[in-house]
Structure 1
C-alpha cells in the first residue's frame, strides 16, 4: 500500500502488522503512563467536553477549545487567546462556518489548496499572536476532528509531511478507493476505541507514538 502514497506510513502500517498497530493504539488510549499512573492527557482529547456544549458550539471558537489544546501539550498564549476570542473572533468564526460541517476527509473530492476554506482558516489562525502551524491544526481539529488532521513536528517527520500535510493526507486516505481510511477505521474498532476517535486521529497517534519510540 505504501509505495505509491503521498505520505510515508508509520512503520507498523508499512510492515502490515495490524496487531502491533492495535497494541500501539491501546497503549496510547487505554494504558496508564508508568511515571504518573494516569492516562495520557491526549487520550482524553477526542471526547473531552466539560461544558457539554461542544456540539452546540461547533461553529464558534470558545474558551473550551483553548483549554482542549492543552491536552495535546500546546497552549495559546494569553495575548493570542485575547485576540482569538476578541478582536478576530467574528472573522475566525465566519471562516469556520465556511469550512462547513464536520465530515470525513476521505470524502473530500477537491484538493485542499491555499484557497480552500480549511486552509484559509489555518492561515487566519496563524496570523494570531503565538499560534503557529501546530496549534492552528489542533484548534481546527478540535472543531472538525474527522476533516482536519493534527500536525506537529513529530508527526510531520514520521509521515514525511513537513512541507505539506493536509493535502497529502487527503490523497492518501482516498488512494485505491479509500483503502487506508478503511484500514484505520478497522484498527479503531479492533482497539475498542469509540467513534469519537476519527480515522485521521488514528493515523496521527500511530505516527506520533512511533516518533516517540513506542
Structure 2
C-alpha cells in the first residue's frame, strides 16, 4: 500500500522546526529528547568495529526511544549460543545501504533483515517494535524506526507487514522527491548530515503525531 504522508510533513519550515525541537538542548545542556542520541551513541551501531554484532550500547540506544529491554533478553542476544542466529543474520545485511537504493530482496520476507527481525520478535521482552528499533540502530539507512505513533501518523493497517517496502517505494517515487525534501529540511534545521533521511522522516512524523494527539506542551526529556 502507498505510504500516506500527511500534508504538514511536506511543509519545509514546519518540518525543520520539528527537527530543531527534537535535536535541541535543554538549558542544562541535556538533550530535549533522549532519542536524539539514538544513532549517535557510541558513534553509532553501524560503525565498522560493531556493525555485525549487537552490543550493550545498542540496547541503551533503544532505551533512548523509551523501550527498555529486560536484562534477560539483552543477555540472550549479547551472549548467543549456536542456536541463536542474531549476529550471523546481522552480518548478512549490507552496511551503509540506503533504503531508496536497496533492492526489494534486501527487505523481503525470508531475507536476512526480515529473518533477523522475526527472530528478535520472538525474544521475550523485545517484541516487534523493539526488534525494529534494534535493526534501525544497526542499519540506520536501510531500516526505519517504527512504533505506534508512526503507525497512526502514516495510517498503517492493524497488521502491518509492508512498512519497509512502502517506505522504499515512497522514497523512490517521482525521481526521489521525498528524499530531496528530507535532505532539504535536514539542512534547513542544521541537525547534521550524519542523520539519515529515514530518521528525519521518523522524527518529524513522530513529533508531528505527538503534537496532534496530545497538543504541543514543549519538549520532554524522552521519547514516550
Q: TM-score, normalised by structure 1?
A: 0.87
Q: 1:7 aligns with which of 3, 6, 11?
A: 3
Counterparts of 1:29 and 1:109 in 2: how far apart (Å)?
31
Instruction: Tell me the distance in 2 between the aligned counterparts of 1:7 and 1:170.
Output: 9
Task: Please state whether the residue corresponding to 2:91 is helix, strand or coil.
Answer: helix
Distance 1:31 1:17 in 2: 23
| 1:122-151 deviation per Cα after TM superposition (whole angstroms, max 9, x unaligned) | 011111111111111110111111111000
Q: 1:145-156 to 2 correspondence within 5 Å?
A: 145-156=140-151
The separation in 1 between residues aligned to 2:46 and 2:118, in whole angstroms, is 26
Equivalent pair of 1:32/1:40 in contact (CA under 8 Å): no
| Contact 1:10–1:210 under 8 Å retained in 2 | no
Q: Is the 8 A contact 2:45 2:139 kept in 1?
A: no
1:68 matched to 2:52? The reply is no
Per the alignment, residue 199 of structure 2 pairs with 201
Aligned to 2:219: none
Conserved 8 A contact 2:16-2:189: yes
Query: Whole-Å Cα distance in 1 between the matches of residues 25 and 51 of structure 2?
Result: 30
Q: Take 2:193 and 2:130, find their aligned partners in 1: how far apart are those partners? A: 24
| Inter-CA distance 123–88: structure 2 relative to 1 (3 Å threshold) | farther
The residue that corresponds to 1:186 in the other structure is 184
Count of residue pairs the alignment pairs up: 207
- Residue of structure 1 equivalent to 2:34: 41
Paired position in structure 1 for 2:220: none
Distance 1:88 1:165 in 2: 31
